[in-house]
Amino acid sequence: MFNRRGREGKKSINKQGSPHSFKIEDLHKELLVLVSNSEDLVFRTITIDDQKIAVAYFDDLINPTSMQDSIIRPLEESNQELNYQLIKDTINIAKLTTTNSLTDVVDNLVNGTAYIFKEGDTHGILADVADKGTRALEKAETESLVFGPKISFTESITKNLNLIRSNINDPKLCVETFMLGSRTKKKVQMIYISDIAEEENVNTFRQRITEIEIDSIVDSTVLAQLIEDNSFTFFPQFITTELPDRCTISLLHGKIALLVDRSPTAIIGPSTFMNFFESTEDIYMRWNMGTFLRMIRFVAIFFSILLTPAYVAVLTYHYEVIPSALLVSLGQSRSNVPFPPVFEALLLEFIIELLREAGARLPTKVGQTMGIVGGIVIGQASVQAGFTSNILIIIIAISALGSFTAPSYAIGTAVRIIRFPIIVMAGLYGGVGIMFCFCFILIHLLKITTLGRPYLSPIYPFRFSDLKYSIFRMPYQYLVKRPVSNHPIDKGRIPIKKAKMKKDVDE
């Protein structure tokens, strides 16, 4: 395993690992050097009939029961001449690998693996006895649902993959594993159905993952930022979800999922702008209810972006569009306000963002109370003090509610951010400024791609058949083909003959 060579009467060990015998004392010293003399490295030597077997592991990363019952005790009770092949048959660990590289030994030790080596052998054994603390399967926190499964991903990539495989028991479900990070290596798994997902999308995902050069991948959201097409846009380009059923549905539609070890969310791509307004709850409801809820979300987002800028533009430049019956009450409401409409709107929007951020950072019960009481107290006090008008309080509240209707937290945050420059342009140029911002955002969305695919699909390029998967939700018997925007290999969800037969029977 290690190269022993003489230099000034001392023995040194080659880090790359050449298959030569060496002394256990040398191994211990070299491991201590490579782990910076870390005191939690345990190096245990077992002597059996003049046979010396070394067991090295980090005490705080392994499962003590597995170590004692599956490795230490079987080795101590063995009464035969052992080598690395017989040691593999002796210890009771399912995941075993052999290695002759010291670099591999160190990389696995810091991940909770035990290293077993018999003095004089050319190879050692790596046994997975890691004790990765994970929480039990629980309800989803950020994507709450009324209908459908409530279970969510955890920080264990093994459990997360198990959840997906239990939903898709298809032998065509393919899993590719990558190790990312030069210092802290993280396991990343790419999941797709081989006869549905387009090969070009799979290759693009694979290429971008393998080209990443970074010291550590902290979370799946960080990985999504590293592989996205445009890093400077406010709009997210990959869906991150904690729901296994949403991941399952996306895989069956021809998309690709990424799991990152120690991360409770999965990355789904390629994702379009419309995908961020879809909820799995739409699928579990009847088709007309699901369609209604999607339309509500689109209208709410539209109001969230344009309602406050429209108020600023109308009061600054376009009084003529205000109905005469409303003009009097509006004038009375603003009679005591000393600020121009643009400053008034920006001030209230900033206060709303402060309340939202404070409520998110405080403990759950305190945060809810803070949001409700703070909103009422600040709103009432602002009107009485003459800082703002009653009508703007209503408009700001509707805009805030509209941004929270999006199922994706990322797209809701993007909507709230882009509202600020639109308000400024409305205060400077009125309706012309609003139209300029609207056209600029539309052109920007047309230029964005996700894995090289159009971000506004199926609106651009227009695909009529995909509207029933994005804007509308049609009955299941009409969802014969998978979304064309995903370029699936197997395009059919329902066999054509059966679909036509069913249609004839219905007629």
Strand partners of residue 481: 492
- At which residue do the structure tokens 């690992």 appear? 17
**What letter does residue 173 receive in the DSSP assignment?**
E
- What are the tokens at 201? 């999308």
For residue 197, give every residue at least 6 positions away whose Cβ sits within 8 Å of its Cβ, in sequence order, or none: 251, 254, 255, 256, 486, 488, 489
CB-based contact 199:208 (threshold 8 Å): no
- At which residue do the structure tokens 């670099």 appear? 103
SS3 call for 133: coil
Torsional class of 451: left (φ above 0), alpha (ψ -120 to 50), beta (otherwise): left
Q: What is the DSSP string of 214-251?
A: -SB---HHHHHHHH-S-SS-SS-SSEEES-HHHHHHHH
CB-based contact 16:4 (threshold 8 Å): no
Q: What is the DSSP string of 77-108?
A: H--S---HHHHHHHS--S-EEEE--HHHHHHH
CA angle 428–431–436, rounded 5-degree value: 80
End-to-end CA distance of the chain: 75
Residue 151 confidence (pLDDT): 87
CB-based contact 400:351 (threshold 8 Å): no
Count of CB atoms situated within 10 Å of the CB of 86: 12
- Listed residue (214, 148, 154) closest to 186, CA to CA: 214
Residue 461: asked if its preceding bond is cis (omega within 30°), the reply is yes
Q: Name the H helices within 318-389.
A: 324-333, 341-361, 364-385
Residue 210 confidence (pLDDT): 93
- At which residue do the structure tokens 């008034």 appear? 344
CB-based contact 437:316 (threshold 8 Å): no
- What are the tokens at 239? 């869906």
Q: pLDDT digits over 478-494, tens only?
A: 888 888 888 888 888 77
Helices 364-385 and 341-361 sit at what angle, rounded to 10 degrees? 160
Residue 148 confidence (pLDDT): 80
pTM of the model: 0.82
CB-based contact 482:492 (threshold 8 Å): yes
Residues of the chain predicted below pLDDT 70: 1-22, 133-134, 364-373, 495-507
For residues 78 and 91, give the distance between their C-alpha atoms in angstroms, rounded to a whole number.
10
- At which residue do the structure tokens 């499964």 appear? 149
Residue 269, H or E segment: strand 266-269
Residue 404 confidence (pLDDT): 87
CB-based contact 63:129 (threshold 8 Å): yes
- Listed residue (80, 245, 66) closest to 147, CA to CA: 245
Residue 496 confidence (pLDDT): 53
Residue 177, H or E segment: strand 173-180
Residue 270 confidence (pLDDT): 92
SS3 call for 507: coil
Residue 9 confidence (pLDDT): 35
